[in-house]
């Protein structure tokens, strides 16, 4: 480093700059950002140089990577269709590959597919890469891809993405490396959809998934559900670059402080998804760094529009003004996130409507609406649970705000166990927790269309449904963006969901581990860290 | 062995058997009452009503409870623990490795805890009222009052994070040499020994003190027997019943109650397996784990009772 030093420049600021670079911010944007923060241009250049250098180092091979996730049980699986949590995703991403993927900015990149193209959005031609082999030596062909995709349609498989896969109605192998996928209705997002973890490719006819026979960067050595999985580098990996580590061991330590202690004592190299209390423990210690992911989940407050009191639109409007988003972000989330504007498209997504402002915290206005709805003085139950991240803290903040204007919110704390079955989508007012999804279409069809399986506030709008289908079929980017923008405004104004903030995930890692980036698909580099990281020699 | 003793032992075994039947019924009923449905948990977000109904039928979840109990008991008696709902593996396979791990942990802990507890308990009783006795008492009360997670966390902070002598978590798969065993088991065993032996020390001390107050101990003293002879020859055989019971009770805790230790050290034992199973509503696995805990408990308690009967000098 040169002797050009800046004043009041902290590690946190370093992290902000690095995060921005990882998101794809240009040098010019960064300098503007720094100027806005009061840092002189000359010093700004030094900082940007330092942060980019940290990312652009040459990978070294070797080493045994040990990482700990936060959840694991005997239900752990190697079947990509059934994978359901970060531990499954990490394991499956190491042994299997997918047709396409998302890079750190959320843009589609090709993996097993050389191209995924369509002229009308309805019939898609997928060209596969030549010379890709499975771990058992078998060549990858279009039959494997068709088998892998068709599995999701079979109700007996119990695929987690059955609802999304249903739109793929026809599959045809044109030759060994080319296939055609026909959709029920045009959908321009297919290349992004195929990047979802569940659409990873397995060999044709696979029924026993315990071997983990894929085309991925690692070969499975040992897998004990609920205990650990061990993988070694695939020497015949189809990519010329990576993986860099010799072997990869993954398991979960559910106890947050145990996970952090294991990292601090040098037993593991990555402790995934640590909570804010432990964050401080790691931050002050040399030899460890925090790897922040982009905002990749949110906890929201849902009011059913078909039940009292959500039926009354004035009540819903009142609640939207009663939620103090700044306070929630600061106190409940300890600053780990971004303010939300009541619609599900995550910050950084190219389709996000950034002009849509969040409702300001305005207790007087809330009181006016509650009065109009005639609910002031009544006690209104709000169901909250640990099951949804930070929901209880959020509920308390809203409750306190309500108490100040005479609106009595009765926060009922219920156990996490069984919460998603018994209360979520069912109770008139309750909390939900939604993870990142890469396209507006997936989010809207899953959460806000009239027939959506997870329609948290039971929102119904014919206009919305029509717009959803129109945007899905449109290959014109500008038009799609315009439609999606309007749909976001509709959700923010009409639906009964309040999304106060989008949450950032934080993984703690040893500073000997290099190459860790953020990815919108989730923490630990979208669960694909093992393929990309390396140990400093 | 005389007739009286034999009938006492046999009746004890019969009681254990009847208890087991009652317990199995209780386990089945309790697990059936768990809220949430396995079928919908397994299917997750893709669950359609038809899929859930189909799965329920395939898993015999629709059969009357009585029939399901009969199936289950039949399976248990023929040694078939069933198939896990969560991942279709035989329950026996899932349990065997974890059970072995738990037994190893319990065994090594017992190996340390029992001799330590007996020595401290008996010697404290022998020099009752002395500084040593008081030190032991204060120490045991102190240890009993500190929750296990606290001891474990402090041990990790000190030995793993600051000194870096021992790993913060126990990788059972890395055990190849004696040194590995020490590294992997040291902290869980220390934590458990603290909690378990404190109870044993106090109960042993109380039992020995009580027998030392009896007329025959006084008689031995008047006859001029040495202090150690009074304790070992006269008092201990009579105190054996309560002591063995105390040991059995403390050790039974090592079977299922070590969930906190397993969680903190990420030790793959059977207690954590059962907690997992409850979260996924994996009934065959929950029931099998519960039965293993009950059987283990019954074996320990029954053995302790039988030893007490056999050791009772009046019945000899």
Q: Which residue has the tokens 């019939």?
A: A123
pLDDT tens-digit profile of B161-178?
A: 998 898 888 877 777 888
Q: Grade residue A51 by pLDDT with cuts at 50, 70 and 90.
A: very low
Instruction: Report the pLDDT value the prediction gives residue B78, as an integer from 0 to 100.
Output: 87
Comparing CB atoms, the residue among B50, B87, B94 nearest residue A77 is B87
Instruction: Report the pLDDT value the prediction gives residue B35, as an integer from 0 to 100.
Output: 66
Provide the mean pLDDT of chain A.
Answer: 87
Percent of chain A whose pLDDT exceeds 70: 89
Interface touch B48/A155, C-beta < 8 Å = yes
- Is it the case that residue B116 has pLDDT exceeding 60? yes
- Is it the case that residue A42 has pLDDT exceeding 80? no
Which residues of chain A approach chain B closer than 8 Å at the C-beta? 68, 73-77, 84, 155, 158-163, 224-228, 251, 253-255, 257-258, 261-262, 264-268, 417-418, 421-422, 453-454
The pLDDT of A70-74, averaged and rounded, is: 85
Instruction: Report the pLDDT value the prediction gives residue B201, as an integer from 0 to 100.
Output: 93
Write out residues 49-68 of B within 8 Å (CB-CB) of A: 50-51, 54-55
Task: Mean pLDDT check: name the lowest of A45-54, A335-344, A455-464.
Answer: A45-54
- The verdict on B44 touching A (C-beta cutoff 8 Å) is yes
The pLDDT of A98-114, averaged and rounded, is: 91
Instruction: Report the pLDDT value the prediction gives residue A44, as an integer from 0 to 100.
Output: 44
Which H or E run includes A319? helix A313-322
The pLDDT of A162-189, averaged and rounded, is: 92
Buried b (16+ CB within 10 A) or exposed e, B167-204: bbbbbbeebeeeeeeebbbbbbbbbbbbbbbbbbbbbb
Instruction: Report the pLDDT value the prediction gives residue A19, as an integer from 0 to 100.
Output: 56
- Is it the case that residue A53 has pLDDT exceeding 70? no
Contact assessment for residue A93 and residue A276, using Cβ atoms and an 8 Å cutoff: no
B267 Cα to chain A: minimum distance (Å): 9
The pLDDT of A290-314, averaged and rounded, is: 90
Contacts of A88 (CB under 8 A, 6+ apart): A76, A77, A82
3-state SS string over chain B? CCHHHHHHHHHHHHHHHHHHHHHHHHHHHHHHCCCCCHHHHHHHHHCCHHHHHHHHHHCCCCCCHHHHHHHHHHHHHCCCCCECCCCCCEHHHHHHHHHHHHHHHHHHHHHHHHHHHHHHHHHHHHCCCCHHHHHHHHHHHHHHHCCHHHHHHHHHHHHHHHCCCCCCCCCHHHCCCHHHHHHHHHHHHHHHHHHHHHHHHHHHHHHHHHHHCCHHHHHHHHCCCCHHHHHHHHHHHHHHHHHHHHHHHHHHHHHHCCHHHHHHCCCCCHHHHHHHHHHCCCHHHHHHHHHHHHHHHHHHHHHHHHHHHHHCHHHC
Cα A37 from Cα A22, distance rounded (Å) = 19
Instruction: Report the pLDDT value the prediction gives residue A460, as an integer from 0 to 100.
Output: 95
Comparing CB atoms, the residue among B45, B266, B279 nearest residue A453 is B45
Task: Mean pLDDT check: name the lowest of A8-17, A367-376, A501-510.
Answer: A8-17
The pLDDT of A439-443, averaged and rounded, is: 91
- Is it the case that residue A49 has pLDDT exceeding 80? no
- Is it the case that residue B59 has pLDDT exceeding 80? no
For testing contact with chain B, the best of A68, A229, A255 (most B CBs within 10 A): A255
> Is the model more confident about A132 or about B78?
A132
For testing contact with chain A, the best of B48, B51, B266 (most A CBs within 10 A): B266
Instruction: Report the pLDDT value the prediction gives residue A20, as an integer from 0 to 100.
Output: 58
Interface touch A265/B40, C-beta < 8 Å = no
The pLDDT of A439-460, averaged and rounded, is: 90
Comparing CB atoms, the residue among A75, A418, A421 nearest residue B87 is A75
The pLDDT of A183-190, averaged and rounded, is: 91
Selection from A69-73, A159-163, A276-280, B301-305 with the highest mean pLDDT: B301-305
- Is it the case that residue A56 has pLDDT exceeding 90? no
Contact assessment for residue A169 and residue A91, using Cβ atoms and an 8 Å cutoff: no
> Is the model more confident about A423 or about B88?
A423
Interface touch A74/B84, C-beta < 8 Å = yes
Provide the mean pLDDT of chain B.
Answer: 86
The region, left, alpha or beta by phi > 0 then psi within -120 to 50, assigned to residue A79 is beta
Instruction: Report the pLDDT value the prediction gives residue A23, as an integer from 0 to 100.
Output: 55
Instruction: Report the pLDDT value the prediction gives residue A6, as an integer from 0 to 100.
Output: 41
Interface touch A265/B160, C-beta < 8 Å = yes
Q: Give A-chain residues touching B157 at CB under 8 angstroms.
A: 261
The pLDDT of A491-510, averaged and rounded, is: 93
Interface touch B280/A74, C-beta < 8 Å = yes
Among chain A residues, the shortest Cα distance to B98 is held by A227
Tell me: ipTM over 0.90.
Answer: no
3-state secondary structure of A305: coil
Instruction: Report the pLDDT value the prediction gives residue B37, as an integer from 0 to 100.
Output: 67
Contact assessment for residue B52 and residue B36, using Cβ atoms and an 8 Å cutoff: no
The pLDDT of B306-314, averaged and rounded, is: 83
Q: Which residues pair with A168 in a beta bridge?
A: A183
A:B CB pairs within 8 Å: 111
Residue B292: closest CA among B64, B57, B102? B102
The pLDDT of B266-285, averaged and rounded, is: 86
Instruction: Report the pLDDT value the prediction gives residue A33, as an integer from 0 to 100.
Output: 55
- Is it the case that residue A497 has pLDDT exceeding 90? yes
Instruction: Report the pLDDT value the prediction gives residue A350, as an integer from 0 to 100.
Output: 86
For testing contact with chain A, the best of B38, B46, B96, B280 (most A CBs within 10 A): B46
Q: Give A-chain residues touching B171 at CB under 8 angstroms.
A: 267
Instruction: Report the pLDDT value the prediction gives residue A379, as an integer from 0 to 100.
Output: 93
Instruction: Report the pLDDT value the prediction gives residue B217, as an integer from 0 to 100.
Output: 85
DSSP structure string for A448-500: TSTT-TT-TT----HHHHHHHHHHHH---HHHHHHHHHHHHHHHHHHSSEE--
> Is the model more confident about B76 or about A128?
A128
Q: Give A-chain residues touching B44 at CB under 8 angstroms.
A: 84, 158, 160
Q: Give A-chain residues touching B278 at CB under 8 angstroms.
A: 417
Task: Mean pLDDT check: name the lowest of A71-80, A240-249, A364-373, B43-52.
Answer: B43-52
Instruction: Report the pLDDT value the prediction gives residue B1, as an integer from 0 to 100.
Output: 60
Q: Grade residue A18 by pLDDT with cuts at 50, 70 and 90.
A: low
Q: What angle do CA A367, A372, A378 make, to 5 degrees?
A: 70
Q: Grade residue A400 by pLDDT with cuts at 50, 70 and 90.
A: very high
pLDDT tens-digit profile of A228-246?
A: 999 999 999 999 887 999 9
Interface touch B268/A253, C-beta < 8 Å = no
B48 Cα to chain A: minimum distance (Å): 9
Comparing CB atoms, the residue among A161, A267, A422 nearest residue B169 is A267
Q: Give A-chain residues touching B164 at CB under 8 angstroms.
A: 265-266
- Is it the case that residue A133 has pLDDT exceeding 50? yes
Instruction: Report the pLDDT value the prediction gives residue A45, as an integer from 0 to 100.
Output: 45
Q: Which residues pair with A409 in a beta bridge?
A: A380
Cα B153 from Cα A132, distance rounded (Å) = 48
Among chain B residues, the shortest Cα distance to A85 is held by B44
Q: Grade residue A40 by pLDDT with cuts at 50, 70 and 90.
A: very low
Instruction: Report the pLDDT value the prediction gives residue A229, as an integer from 0 to 100.
Output: 93
The pLDDT of A97-107, averaged and rounded, is: 90
Interface touch B279/A161, C-beta < 8 Å = no
- The verdict on B90 touching A (C-beta cutoff 8 Å) is no
Instruction: Report the pLDDT value the prediction gives residue A17, as an integer from 0 to 100.
Output: 56
The pLDDT of A450-479, averaged and rounded, is: 91
Comparing CB atoms, the residue among B36, B266, B278 nearest residue A253 is B266
The pLDDT of B213-234, averaged and rounded, is: 86
- Is it the case that residue B82 has pLDDT exceeding 60? yes
**What does DSSP say about strands A178-183 and A123-128: parallel, antiparallel, or unpaired?**
antiparallel
């Amino acid at each position: 480093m040169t002797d050009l030093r800046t004043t009041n420049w902290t590690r946190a600021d370093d992290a902000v700059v690095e995060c921005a670079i990882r998101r794809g911010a240009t040098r010019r944007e960064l300098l503007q950002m720094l100027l806005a923060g009061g840092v002189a241009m000359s010093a700004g250049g030094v900082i940007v140089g330092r942060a980019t250098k940290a990312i652009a180092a040459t990978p070294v091979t070797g080493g045994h990577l040990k990482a700990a996730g936060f959840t694991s049980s005997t239900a752990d699986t190697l079947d990509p269709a059934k994978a359901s949590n970060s531990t499954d995703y990490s394991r499956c991403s190491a042994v299997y590959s997918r047709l396409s993927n998302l890079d750190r900015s959320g843009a589609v990149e090709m993996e097993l597919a050389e191209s995924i193209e369509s002229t009308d959005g309805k019939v898609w031609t997928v060209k596969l890469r030549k010379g890709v082999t499975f771990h058992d030596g078998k060549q990858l062909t279009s039959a494997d891809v068709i088998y892998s995709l068709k599995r999701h349609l079979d109700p007996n498989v119990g695929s987690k993405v059955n609802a999304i896969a249903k739109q793929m109605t026809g599959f045809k192998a044109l030759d060994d490396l080319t296939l055609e996928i026909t959709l029920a209705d045009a959908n321009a997002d297919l290349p992004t959809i195929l990047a979802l973890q569940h659409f990873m490719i397995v060999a044709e006819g696979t029924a026993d998934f315990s071997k983990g026979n894929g085309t991925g960067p690692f070969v499975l050595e040992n897998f004990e559900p609920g205990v650990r999985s061990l993988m070694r580098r695939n020497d015949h990996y189809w990519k010329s670059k990576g993986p860099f580590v010799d072997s990869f061991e993954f398991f979960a330590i559910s106890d947050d402080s145990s996970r952090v202690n294991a990292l601090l004592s040098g037993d593991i190299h990555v402790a995934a998804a640590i909570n804010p209390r432990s964050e401080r423990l790691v931050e002050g210690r040399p030899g460890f760094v925090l790897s922040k992911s982009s905002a990749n989940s949110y906890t929201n407050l849902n009011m059913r529009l078909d039940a009292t009191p959500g039926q009354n639109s004035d009540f819903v409007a009142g609640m939207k003004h009663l939620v103090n988003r700044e306070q929630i972000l600061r106190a409940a989330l300890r600053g780990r996130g971004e303010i939300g504007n009541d619609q599900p498209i995550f910050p950084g997504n190219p389709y996000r409507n950034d002009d849509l402002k969040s409702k300001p915290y305005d207790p007087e206005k809330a009181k006016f609406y509650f009065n109009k709805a005639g609910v002031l003085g009544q006690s209104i139950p709000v169901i909250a649970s640990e099951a949804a991240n930070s929901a209880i803290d959020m509920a308390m903040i809203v409750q306190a705000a309500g108490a100040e204007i005479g609106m009595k919110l009765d926060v009922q704390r219920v156990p996490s166990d069984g919460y998603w079955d018994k209360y979520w989508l069912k109770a008139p007012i309750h909390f939900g927790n939604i993870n990142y999804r890469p396209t507006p279409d997936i989010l809207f069809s899953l959460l806000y269309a009239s027939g959506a399986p997870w329609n948290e506030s039971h929102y119904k709008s014919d206009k919305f449904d029509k717009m959803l289908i129109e945007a899905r079929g449109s290959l014109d980017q500008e038009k799609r963006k315009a439609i999606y923008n309007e749909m976001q405004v509709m959700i923010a104004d009409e639906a009964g969901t309040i999304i106060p903030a989008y949450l950032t995930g934080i993984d703690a890692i040893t500073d000997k581990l290099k190459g860790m980036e953020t990815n919108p698909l989730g923490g630990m580099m979208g669960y694909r860290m093992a393929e990309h990281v390396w140990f400093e020699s | 062995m005389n007739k009286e003793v034999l009938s006492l032992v046999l009746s004890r075994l019969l009681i254990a058997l009847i208890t087991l039947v009652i317990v199995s019924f209780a386990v089945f009923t309790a697990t059936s009452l768990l809220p949430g449905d396995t079928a919908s948990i397994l299917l997750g977000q893709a669950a359609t009503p038809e899929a859930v109904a189909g799965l329920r039928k395939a898993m015999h979840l629709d059969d009357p409870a009585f029939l399901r109990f009969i199936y289950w008991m039949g399976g248990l008696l023929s040694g078939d623990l069933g198939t896990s709902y969560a991942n279709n593996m035989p329950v026996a396979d899932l349990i065997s490795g974890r059970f072995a791990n738990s037994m190893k942990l319990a065994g090594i802990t017992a190996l340390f805890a029992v001799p330590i507890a007996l020595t401290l308990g008996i010697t404290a009783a022998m020099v009752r009222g002395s500084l040593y006795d008081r030190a032991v008492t204060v120490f045991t009360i102190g240890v009993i009052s500190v929750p296990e997670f606290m001891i474990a966390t402090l041990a990790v902070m000190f030995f793993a994070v600051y000194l870096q002598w021992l790993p913060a978590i126990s990788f059972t798969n890395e055990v190849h040499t004696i040194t590995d065993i020490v590294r992997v088991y040291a902290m869980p065993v220390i934590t458990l020994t603290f909690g378990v032996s404190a109870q044993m020390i106090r109960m042993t001390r109380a039992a020995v003190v009580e027998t030392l107050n009896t007329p025959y101990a006084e008689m031995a003293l008047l006859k001029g027997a040495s202090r150690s002879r009074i304790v070992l020859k006269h008092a201990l055989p009579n105190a054996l019943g309560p002591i063995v019971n105390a040991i059995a009770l403390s050790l039974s805790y090592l079977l299922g109650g070590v969930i906190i230790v397993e969680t903190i050290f990420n030790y793959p034992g059977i207690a954590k397996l059962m907690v997992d199973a409850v979260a996924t509503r994996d009934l065959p696995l929950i029931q099998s784990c519960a039965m293993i805990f009950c059987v283990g408990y019954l074996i320990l308690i029954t053995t302790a009772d039988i030893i007490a009967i056999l050791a009772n000098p009046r019945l000899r």
